């Protein structure tokens, strides 16, 4: 069995050694331009078209939770990967716990008004503030996949009202579920903290715009952990200036790295992290990929491939 591997930043010798250890009989090699030798599987992140084009692969694994980069390439180069080739993504591999840590820490930061106290510190002002009440601090999660379910679960443990919105209705314990465009306004109406965990699809690009933000509760908070393309940054800045959005925490952006001239850097009520909310943990990712390949080789049903039309 031959596996080709491409990632611009990963420790490739480590990945190759661990994959060969976990998949008996596998030979794993780093793909480089001009390599047209046979391969059975491909492990990729933002792969060049020539890496996949013309190959008869049993499956392709995206080395992250999203496959939007591959799907966008397929729109321009449909010959890159036949429709019949299964495409897998990393379903969790430690990302859910990281998302829980990020979301819970930030929600508690806002709930305990630490952002307000930091502003008071900047103004050398000592003043205890009224506490927020949990029943008035409803958390709304856009996106109800694996990561969304785990984030909801962790926030319920802190006693917050939690609701979710997605394409189809979910049946999560103690979580109010809203589905489809017709119910989006109802979802937004009582949401105080909006957490974005949507997949990147044509239907979700630009969804967090001035129309959506206007439907949230006054002095709401926005936490974007999904993709930068979901947010119209100019609309978010306007909502911050008007006071509709009290604070925003952003991990992802339309352009990364975020350009130095972006007004988001200097806005006093915007916090920024450099796309680190949930990073791929090698050993857990290798375990998932190796297990899935072994299942495929045995003809067993295992992880579900990505639906290329829905984008996840």
- Quick: pLDDT tens for 143-158: 999 899 999 999 999 9
Q: Are residues 254 and 132 in the same domain?
A: yes
The stretch 249-265 carries a mean pLDDT of: 97
Q: Are residues 109 and 22 in the same domain?
A: no
Q: Are residues 129 and 39 in the same domain?
A: no
Domain presence at residue 308: no
Return d(Cα 29, Cα 205) in angstroms, integer.
Answer: 35
Return d(Cα 290, Cα 176) in angstroms, integer.
Answer: 37
Domain presence at residue 304: no
227 classed as catalytic: yes
The stretch 194-212 carries a mean pLDDT of: 95
What's the pLDDT score for residue 69?
Answer: 83
User: In this structure, how many other beta carbons lie within 10 angstroms of the beta carbon of residue 194?
Assistant: 25
Task: Using DSSP bridges, classify how beta strands 162-166 and 139-142 pair: parallel, antiparallel or unpaired.
Answer: parallel
pLDDT surpassing 90 at residue 49: yes
Tell me the pLDDT band of 312, cut-offs 50, 70 and 90.
Answer: confident
Under 8 Å between Cβ of 136 and 192: yes
Please state the domain count of the chain.
Answer: 2
Return d(Cα 194, Cα 204) in angstroms, integer.
Answer: 15
Domain presence at residue 311: no
Q: Are residues 65 and 172 in the same domain?
A: no
Domain presence at residue 231: yes
pLDDT surpassing 80 at residue 311: no
Q: How many CA atoms lie within 13 A of 196 on its CB side?
A: 27
Q: Which of 89, 192, 227, 230 is catalytic?
A: 227
Q: Are residues 192 and 148 in the same domain?
A: yes
Return d(Cα 79, Cα 101) in angstroms, integer.
Answer: 40
Phi, psi angles (nearest 5°) of residue 207: -65, -30
pLDDT surpassing 80 at residue 92: no
Task: Report the CATH number that the domain containing residue 151 is assigned in CATH.
Answer: 3.40.50.720
Q: Reduce the secondary structure of 189-208 to three states and give it as a string.
A: HCCCEEEECCCCCCCCCCCE
Domain presence at residue 194: yes
User: In this structure, how many other beta carbons lie within 10 angstroms of the beta carbon of residue 93?
Assistant: 21
Domain presence at residue 306: no
Domain presence at residue 48: yes
Q: Which of 275, 281, 291, 294 is catalytic?
A: 275
What's the pLDDT score for residue 302?
Answer: 78
Domain presence at residue 199: yes
Give me the sheet containing 41-44, strands edge to edge. 27-30, 2-6, 41-44, 59-62, 87-88
Return d(Cα 212, Cα 9) in angstroms, integer.
Answer: 36
Q: Are residues 176 and 260 in the same domain?
A: yes
Q: Are residues 110 and 213 in the same domain?
A: yes
Return d(Cα 17, Cα 26) in angstroms, integer.
Answer: 10
pLDDT surpassing 80 at residue 75: yes
Q: What average pLDDT is seen over the chain?
A: 95
The stretch 19-28 carries a mean pLDDT of: 96
Boundaries of domain holding 38: 2-91+280-298
Q: Are residues 158 and 259 in the same domain?
A: yes
**Per-residue DSSP letter, 229:** G
Return d(Cα 35, Cα 50) in angstroms, integer.
Answer: 9
Between 103 and 202, the higher pLDDT residue: 103
What's the pLDDT score for residue 149?
Answer: 96
Under 8 Å between Cβ of 207 and 165: no
Q: Are residues 58 and 159 in the same domain?
A: no
Q: Are residues 38 and 164 in the same domain?
A: no
275 classed as catalytic: yes
Q: Are residues 268 and 287 in the same domain?
A: no
Q: Are residues 216 and 293 in the same domain?
A: no
């Amino acid at each position: 069995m031959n596996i080709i591997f491409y990632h611009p930043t990963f420790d490739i010798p480590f990945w190759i050694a661990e994959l060969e250890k976990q998949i008996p009989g596998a030979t794993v090699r780093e793909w480089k331009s001009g390599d047209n030798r046979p391969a059975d599987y491909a492990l990729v992140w933002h792969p060049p078209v020539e890496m996949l084009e013309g190959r008869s692969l049993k499956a392709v694994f995206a080395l992250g939770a999203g496959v939007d980069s591959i799907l966008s390439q397929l729109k321009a180069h449909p010959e890159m990967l036949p429709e019949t080739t299964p495409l897998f993504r990393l379903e969790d591999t430690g990302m859910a716990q990281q998302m829980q840590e990020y979301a819970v820490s930030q929600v508690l930061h806002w709930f305990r008004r630490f952002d307000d106290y930091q502003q008071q510190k900047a103004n050398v002002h000592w003043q205890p503030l009224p506490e927020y009440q949990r029943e008035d601090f409803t958390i709304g999660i856009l996106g109800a996949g694996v990561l969304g379910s785990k984030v909801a679960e962790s926030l319920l443990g802190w006693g917050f009202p939690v609701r979710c919105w997605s394409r189809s209705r979910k049946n999560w314990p103690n979580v109010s579920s809203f589905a489809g465009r017709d119910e989006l306004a109802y979802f937004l109406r009582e949401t105080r903290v909006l957490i974005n965990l949507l997949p990147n699809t044509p239907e979700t690009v630009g969804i967090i715009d001035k129309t959506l933000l206007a439907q949230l509760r006054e002095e709401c908070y926005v936490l974007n952990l999904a993709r930068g393309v979901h947010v119209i940054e100019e609309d978010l800045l306007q909502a911050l200036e008007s006071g509709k959005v009290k604070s925003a925490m952003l991990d992802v952006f339309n352009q990364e790295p975020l350009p130095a001239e972006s007004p988001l850097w200097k806005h006093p009520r915007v916090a920024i992290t450099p796309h680190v909310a949930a990073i791929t943990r090698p050993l857990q990712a290798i375990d998932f990929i190796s297990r899935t390949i072994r299942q495929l080789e045995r003809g067993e049903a295992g992880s579900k491939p990505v639906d290329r039309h829905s984008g996840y």
